[in-house]
Structure 1
Amino acid sequence: MTVVRPARDASRYRWVILGVATFTQAAASFFVQGIGAMGVHLQRDLDLSTAQLGLLISAAQLVPLVGLLVAGELLDRHDERWVVGAGLSLVAVALCAGSLAPGYTALLLVLLVVGAGYSTVQPGGSKSVATWFDGSRRGLAMGVRQAGPPLGGAFSAAVLPLLAATHGWRATLVAGGIVAFLGAGAFLGLYRRPPGRAVAAGGTRAPLAAQVRARLRMLREPSMVKIMLSGTSLISVQSGVLVLTVLHLHDVAAIPAGTAVGVFVAVQVAGVAGRIGLAAWSDRRRSGRYACVVTCMVAVVAGTAMLTTPLGRSPTAACVLVVWLGFFGFGWYGPWVAYVAESAPPERTGFALGLAMSANQVVIILTPPLLGLVRDLTHSFTPAWGLLAATTAVALAIGRRRR
């Protein structure tokens, strides 16, 4: 009995780890994912163009461009508990302080600080789940955990626009800070490393030149090339859905702003279902996790392309299409992260996750203002959706040829 019980307790506690990692990710994403839902209010209150709104959404994603790599290194050397807890605490402090921001420029600076803390949460939570779950259930666990961003986004889409309408946009930052504090407290209080797993810090480390060469070799690996192509193309669609959905439904499909926000909540819920369902499917698919990612690429090409047709102007059809994009355009992330974790050397899991996610950050930063600029210059959403369909189709074709 004394031999079996620790293993049984560890098997049970991994579900606690999964729950706290998912809650932490949802708490970290609450405000960042909710900015798109507040697009109509922010444009009105701060007198913003679509491009300025896109830049505001990108601001929180700018620092993670480098921060994810730093976070990956920290996670390979230190306990995820402290790395993630400290990062999310920084998010909470920055958002609460940001409620005093005098205007648009100051708000941009606040979101840059938020991005620095946010950098630790994605790779840290992913590594914590990958550490506790073996390959037979890792896809499902990653999918549940990666449901955190759309789950936080769905909650924020339901709460933040109402809060902004009744108390102003500053109150939304305070709410985001409180939620981030709750997430930090939960992770610091409940997370533990698996029994028998020591932190990788300490010991003899390779010379700096050797470490750099090892990282460059990782970039040339065929699996990393597929990771970069699929991740950057699909994250561009996810960013496009966040920034364009409410505006497209309101301006093109003539849906009232309140109803459009409700549809946006449904899009986020579809993303939650997609991340869990598609990741669980990848655990059982003989062709592997990457084939599941390819399926998502084909689905989002079809969905974004149809939004450029007259179907995009039909209220019913447009709603169905954006929910479709929510399922596949958000759902790909669960199997994709599991594929990244399993493709990396065990001692470099944190860095591999940080590297892959930092490549995505380039696209996350560039996509919202670029799509907003395209919309402002053409006075139409068709070129923006068409651009997303074309780039994903090109990435899909290149990836298939490299296979």
Structure 2
Amino acid sequence: MPATAVTADPGTLRRWSMLGASTLAQAAAAIMMHGPAFLIPALHADGFSLAEAGLVAAAPTVGVMLALVAWGAVSDRYGERFALLWGLAATTALGALAALGGGTGVLVVTLLLAGAAAASTNAASGRVVVGWFPPARRGLAMGIRQMAQPVGVGVAAVSIAVLADRYGVHAALWVPTLACALALVVVALVVLDPPRPDPRTGGSANPYRRDRFLVRVHGVSVLLVVPQFLVWTFALVWLVQARSWSPAAAGSLVAAAQLAGALGRIAAGHLSDVVGSRMRPLRWVAVAAAAVMALLGLAAGRGWALAVALLVVATVLTVADNGLAFTAVAERAGATWSGRALGVQNTAQFLAASAVPPLAGLAVAHLGYAATFALGALFPVLAAPLVPVEGERELS
């Protein structure tokens, strides 16, 4: 499956079709990465301990973290189409192996490898969007592409747990497998590699040696992922335990907040196109997230009903930075380095995100939800002055 690149403008329809294909690929990969978490109830009912069920659920995420930078290098070397096709093909094959049965060891290994293969979409699909959309529309396009993760998680939430309960764990794994197979076909039909500069012109220089812009964006993103995963992890349990909501009502609010967060990513991307900057809106998001998390902590501590509305706003704001940072990294790294740079970006965020639930759980146990939410405000406070606004180039 060789890379296919063109240098001419593919046209508006083909460009938006490639955005759709890239978004579908990322959403399908998200179902594979995050879907096994919804197997936990069925696994537990089948006799797995919660620790064993958690191991199964975590396997694809571990695979993603191990493979992100490597897939970025593949994308830089052989092209985005190559990475997407081979990655999705491997994900589909490994998902089928997991769905066909086997013991716990086989299930864990196949899901880990499927996650590693699915990581191909993180860097490659983003580079397709950045490569084919002009700067004035790139923020909006990347915001649409960044909807893929919450959409994928939503699809997994409404399908995998139900199928696992009715037909068994292995049967439910056909959901991510078939989604990746569909994405593979669509990518093969639609996606073209964006133009690449001739390496002899100097476009292949290491952007990390040029300045500290990328390092600072990575650092800002790591800090901002903390309140994001704090809210994601504890919103539902806070509503049930502290606000006495039913699980159904709490789940509905959380799902609605996630949808609003997905739309917020599009709005943030469009705003960056309008103002001609990724970093200024990123700093605004950091400041706003700090304020809302602090207010959420105050309102939760006082028992105010306003806390529920602030939780929704916090859910929207704490994910709004993702597309801005992702687009900025790809733009600054350039065509020959963006795959690796996006791999580093995602790996750093995954590592930070994986530490949030256990550490925040300890904070909740010792300090309570209100204080933990308020502590979450410290991270965007630290992030705001680190945003490299002064080092950003004009979009052109």
Name the TM tier (shorter chain): 0.7 to 0.9
Which range moved further: 153-162 or 277-286? Answer: 153-162
CA distance in 2, matches of 1:120, 1:235: 21
The residue aligned with 2:67 is 67
The residue aligned with 2:206 is 214
Distance change >3 Å, CA 327–CA 310, structure 1 → 2: closer
The residue aligned with 2:340 is 351
1:149 Cα deviation from its structure 2 partner:
0.8
CA distance in 2, matches of 1:325, 1:148: 20
CA distance in 1, matches of 2:239, 2:109: 30
**2:253 alignment partner, one of 239, 263, 282:** 263
**1:285 alignment partner, one of 270, 275, 283:** 275
**1:394 alignment partner, one of 377, 382, 386:** 382
Structure 2 residue 322 is the aligned partner of structure 1 residue 333: yes
CA distance in 2, matches of 1:160, 1:303: 33
| Stretches of structure 1 lacking an aligned partner (at least 5 in a row) | 1-5
Distance change >3 Å, CA 231–CA 321, structure 1 → 2: same
CA distance in 1, matches of 2:37, 2:382: 27
The residue aligned with 1:190 is 190
The residue aligned with 1:300 is 289
CA contact (8 A) 1:235 1:360 kept: yes
Look up the equivalent residue of 1:122 and give its one-letter code: N
TM-score scaled to structure 1, two decimals?
A: 0.81
1:346 Cα deviation from its structure 2 partner:
3.6
Distance change >3 Å, CA 118–CA 302, structure 1 → 2: farther
The residue aligned with 2:4 is none
CA distance in 2, matches of 1:263, 1:290: 31
CA contact (8 A) 2:280 2:389 kept: no
CA distance in 2, matches of 1:93, 1:374: 41
Deviations 1:222-281 (CA, angstroms, capped at 9, x unpaired): 311331122112223333333323322222222222222222321221122011111011
Per the alignment, in what secondary structure is the counterpart of residue 254 of structure 1?
coil
Per the alignment, in what secondary structure is the counterpart of residue 267 of structure 1?
helix
CA distance in 1, matches of 2:126, 2:173: 26
Look up the equivalent residue of 2:380 and give its one-letter code: T
Distance change >3 Å, CA 289–CA 73, structure 1 → 2: same
The residue aligned with 1:378 is 366
Look up the equivalent residue of 2:333 and give its one-letter code: A
Per the alignment, in what secondary structure is the counterpart of residue 63 of structure 1?
helix
Distance change >3 Å, CA 9–CA 278, structure 1 → 2: same
Distance change >3 Å, CA 177–CA 319, structure 1 → 2: farther
CA contact (8 A) 2:33 2:64 kept: no
Task: Map residues 89-104 of structure 1 onto 2, 5 A cutoff.
Answer: 89-99=89-99, 100=101, 102-103=103-104
Structure 2 residue 17 is the aligned partner of structure 1 residue 16: yes
CA contact (8 A) 1:95 1:173 kept: yes
| Stretches of structure 2 lacking an aligned partner (at least 5 in a row) | 1-6, 392-396
1:139 Cα deviation from its structure 2 partner:
0.8
CA distance in 1, matches of 2:219, 2:213: 10
1:128 Cα deviation from its structure 2 partner:
0.6
CA distance in 2, matches of 1:175, 1:315: 41
RMSD of equivalent CA atoms: 3.6
1:295 Cα deviation from its structure 2 partner:
2.0
Deviations 1:65-113 (CA, angstroms, capped at 9, x unpaired): 342211111111112112112222333333343343645x765544422
1:15 Cα deviation from its structure 2 partner:
0.8
Look up the equivalent residue of 1:244 and give its one-letter code: F
Larger RCO of the pair (alpha carbons < 8 Å, separation 6+)? 1
Structure 2 residue 229 is the aligned partner of structure 1 residue 239: yes
Count residues in correspondence: 382
Look up the equivalent residue of 2:383 and give its one-letter code: A
